[in-house]
Amino acid sequence: MNKTALITGASRGIGKAIAKEFAIQGYDLYLICVSSIELLKEYALELEQAHGIRCLAIQADMGHYDDVAKVFEQIPTLDVLINNAGISYVGLLSDMTPNEWHKVMHTNLDACFYTSKLAIPLMLKSHNGRIINISSVWGNVGASMEVAYSTSKGGVNTFTKALAKELAPSNIQVNAIACGLIDTDMNKCFSPEDLDAVTAEIPADRMGSPEEIARLAYQLATAPTYLTGQILTIDGGWT
């Protein structure tokens, strides 16, 4: 029987690349997206045909517990949970509304609680599991104009470390990947000039690719079980 992985935010960017990597490695997949379900269904079919796996596309808002609970009603076993769905907010904190603040927290941080809460009982049944949270360098060091986003990812980092301690006796490893600047639509809000200016500060002199994050996610899913509670920063030497 194939191993199974659930990947949130899989319709594009990093989540889409992670889905492909795990499909190549022979995992059956549950792929979640909030709004592009037709696109995601097409992608799921493509992965099934190319890699001989089973792949179910599900529409759900990971920031709403009821939606997440409905997703888990469809999942009998789970080996790997990848909390990738996320949104950014770029702007001054003083201009941000409470609703905008809560949306960032619900999507980036609360979702990790919701999915983990529901995945843990499945993983306990097999005394085996991996939870991988896609975080950000801004969760390590904080960014001006991205206070809410930085706070949510800082929360993801601490959530990762604390939950890893709680679950280590049950052979469930919890780690996070703190991404630097990765070439996805999330950065489309920045002008090419702005992106060039940031890239000039990165020692590797380029953005990272979604495929590089996907490879690291798979490596974490297969790493020695003694590796847990870690925030792996992948940023071309930037921070």
Structure tokens at 73: 């009603």
Neighbours of 108 (CB within 10 A): 29
Are the C-beta atoms of 114 and 62 separated by less than 8 Å? yes
The yes or no reply on residue 186 touching ligand NAD (CB under 6 A) is yes
Instruction: Return d(Cα 112, Cα 110) in angstroms, integer.
Output: 5
| Closest approach of ligand NAD to the CB of residue 32, in Å | 6
Nearer to ligand NAD, 79 or 235 (CB): 235
* 12 to 51: interface string for ligand NAD, x by CB under 6 A: xxxx----------------xxxx----------------
Structure tokens at 143: 């960014």
> Residue 226 catalytic?
no
| Closest approach of ligand NAD to the CB of residue 158, in Å | 16
The yes or no reply on residue 87 touching ligand NAD (CB under 6 A) is yes
Q: What's 154-193 look like in SS3?
A: HHHHHHHHHHHHHHHHHCEEEEEEEECCECCHHHHHCCHH
Binder of ligand NAD out of 30, 80, 86, 114 (CB under 6 A): 86
* 111 to 150: interface string for ligand NAD, x by CB under 6 A: -----------------------x-x--------------
Of 27, 43, 114, 149, catalytic: 149
- Torsion sign, CA atoms 61, 65, 68, 70: negative
Nearer to ligand NAD, 136 or 151 (CB): 136
Residue 186 carries which side chain, given as an amino acid letter? M
- Torsion sign, CA atoms 54, 62, 217, 47: positive
Binder of ligand NAD out of 4, 107, 115, 173 (CB under 6 A): 107
Instruction: Return d(Cα 164, Cα 102) in angstroms, integer.
Output: 25
| Closest approach of ligand NAD to the CB of residue 218, in Å | 16
Structure tokens at 83: 């909390």
Distance of CA 93 to the CA centre of its chain: 24
Interface residue list for ligand NAD (CB under 6 A)? 8-9, 11-15, 32-35, 61-63, 84-87, 107, 134, 136, 179, 181-182, 184-187
